[in-house]
Every structure is written in C-alpha cells, then in structure tokens.
Amino acid sequence: MKIEELNPFIRYAKSHPYYHATKENTICYDCRVFYLVKGRGRVFVAEQWHDFAPNTAIFFPPRTAYRFEFASEEAFEFFIFNFDLTNEFCHLTRSFGVATKSTFDPFLAPNHTLPPEFSNIIIQRNGSAMFSHLEYCIGLFLRKDPYYRLLASASLKLALLQLLRARDGEKSDYRLVENVLEFIRGNYHNCELDNRAIAAQFSYHPYYLNELMRHHTGRTLHGQLIDYRLHMARHYLTTTNLSITAIAEKAGFSSYTYFIKLFRERVGTTPLQYRKRITM
C-alpha cells in the first residue's frame, strides 16, 4: 500500500471521560489513534514508558502491545479511534477490541500491507493540528448523519496526514538541533561565538533557535554553549599544563574574570582548586 491510497475505514470513534487501566499489556487488532484532550499519564509501548500529556497523539499499527496509566485525580478526556488504513475490509464493521498476549488471535487481525509512513508507532507530543479533525469525526459517529462514514474517513485522513507533517517537522527540528550542537563543539573556542552568530550560521532568528534548543534539550542555546566551554575548560585543566588564563582563552571565554566567576558558580570551586583536586 502507498500513502496515496490512504482511505481509512473507521470501526470505532469515541471520546472517553475515563480509561480502565490494566496491569497487563493489551494488543490491538487494527490501527489505533489515541489523542489526550485533558489529563496526564503515560503509555508503555516498545519496552519503554512515554509521558502522555494534553495534545499528545499516538498512532499504533495493528498488533501493537501497549498499556496506559493515568493520573486519576485530574480531569480527563481521551479520543480513541479503531480503523484500517484502507476500506479493503469494510465488510467487518464491528470493532475487534483488544486482546492480551495469551488471548490474541492473529487470524482476526486484518491482513493488509501498511504504507511505510504508518508501519511503526508514532508518538507526537504536539498533535493539536489534529484536534478539530478528530473531534469532527467523533461527532459524525455520534449523529450518524447521511454519508457519515465517508465524511469521517476523510476527516481522519486529514488528521493522519497532519500527524505525519508534525512528525516530519519535529524530525527536521531535531536534526537542526543536532547540527547546532555539532557546530558549537567545533567552534566553542571562538570567543565571538554567541546566540546571534550561531543563528546566523543556520539562517534562523536567535529567538527561534534558542526556543528550539530549549524544547529539545531543556537547555537554552547560550546554556549549551557555556556548558560545552566549561566542559572543555575542565578537560584542559586535567590534561595540560596551560595557565588558567590560557585555558580561559582556549575554551572561548573572552574575559578571564568572567571565566573564574562562572566556573566557581557552575563547578563549585575555582579552576586552580579543581586542577589540584583532580590531579592529586
């Protein structure tokens, strides 16, 4: 199947104000989309836990084993969709539900080829672009207006394409962050390197690049630069006999005084004391 042939057939579309947590993994027979509107929790899939916050969207291909846990004290709303990516098995209209490892019957799972884009689990933490399409889809299934299945299929198709766009955009952002970090590692010694110079290198506004770095690493762009300069300063302190002044310059600090002050704040001791303690 190619992505151009995407034509979802929906068996179940509903908003849930609760979720029955289980201690055992469940396995889906057909595709699943979960979208958290309100509340917080986590999902165990592919042998690890992932946080699940509002506007997080998750796609599971058939035969995925998973388990959810949610904070029961918070207000909760959860969209759930069961579907195939084509209408090849549209004669099977009832939801297959889920099974456990011991009860799963592989012959019940629709056997069709998935497009590469939907062959693996997708967890998108900023899936807000999908919300209106998913909400409309659920409304159609509740009202069952004329042509509701066709309209719902078109709406879910739009949501799934938005999911791919958000995922690919995030991958692109992640590659940009990796490239920026590599650039810092290769140019930290330049004392004129700052947010503006780094952003100019990649043709982005400093504010945008700073927020992107904070989102993906938890550290600001300036924080990443300072952290790496201090990392290299500690390396030079323990592997060379260079003076403290020379190390400050070699690590990219234009001010010796600022280097001493920052080193003491971040490391808890002066560069000279650090060198004596480590090399004793």
Q: Which pLDDT does position 248 carry in this prediction?
A: 95
Contacts 24+ apart (CB under 8 A), 163-166: 163/33, 163/57, 163/59, 163/122, 163/124, 163/127, 163/130, 164/117, 164/122, 165/129, 166/57, 166/124, 166/126, 166/127, 166/129, 166/130
Q: Which tokens sit at 4? A: 């151009």
Query: Residue 21's pLDDT is what?
Result: 74
- Encode the chain (280 residues) as per-residue pLDDT tens digits: 888 999 999 999 999 987 777 788 999 999 999 999 998 888 999 888 888 889 999 999 999 999 998 877 677 899 999 999 999 888 888 888 888 888 998 888 878 789 989 999 998 888 888 999 999 999 999 999 899 999 999 999 999 999 988 887 777 788 888 899 999 999 999 999 999 999 999 888 899 899 888 887 888 999 999 999 999 999 999 999 999 999 999 999 999 999 999 999 988 899 999 888 876 6
For residue 113, the model assigns a pLDDT of 84
The reply to whether 276 falls in a domain is yes
Range of the domain at 215: 188-280
- Does 251 lie in the same domain as 153? no
Q: Tell me: the pLDDT tens digits for 173-210?
A: 888 888 999 999 999 999 999 999 999 998 888 998 99
Whether residue 229 sits in one domain with residue 151: no
Identity (one letter) of the amino acid at 84? D
Inter-residue contact 118 to 167 (CB < 8 Å): no
Phi-psi domain of 259 (left: phi exceeds 0; alpha: psi -120 through 50; beta: other):
alpha
The verdict on residue 166 lying in a domain is yes
Q: Is residue 177 part of a domain?
A: no
Question: Do 67 and 9 share a domain, yes or no?
Answer: yes
Q: What pLDDT does 280 receive?
A: 62
Report in angstroms the alpha-carbon separations of 278 from 41, 44, 128, 230, 243: 43, 42, 50, 15, 16
CATH number at residue 165: 2.60.120.280
Q: Which long-range contacts (CB under 8 A, 24 or more apart) does 95-100 make?
A: 95/11, 95/12, 96/11, 96/28, 96/29, 96/30, 97/29, 98/26, 98/27, 98/28, 98/29, 99/26, 99/27, 99/29, 100/24, 100/25, 100/26, 100/27
Is residue 196 domain-shared with residue 91, that is, in the same domain?
no
Amino acid in the structure at residue 177: V
Residues 152 and 239 in one domain: no
The confidence score (pLDDT) of residue 211 equals 87
Counted domains in the chain:
2
138 shares its domain with 229 = no
Within a domain: 176: no
The answer to whether the pTM exceeds 0.75 is: no
pLDDT of 202: 87
Q: How far apart are CA 156 and CA 31, in angstroms?
A: 12
104-128 b/e (C-beta count within 10 Å ≥ 16 → b): beeeebbeeebeebbeebbbbbebe
Same domain? For 9 and 50 the reply is: yes
Q: How far apart are CA 63 and CA 32, in angstroms?
A: 10
So what's the pLDDT on residue 1?
Answer: 83
In this structure, the answer to whether residues 18 and 105 fall within a common structural domain is yes
**What is the greatest pairwise CA distance in the chain?**
82
State the pLDDT at residue 279.
Answer: 67
The pLDDT, as a whole number, for residue 83 is 95
Residues 31, 120 share a domain: yes
pLDDT reported for residue 73: 63
What's the pLDDT score for residue 70? 83
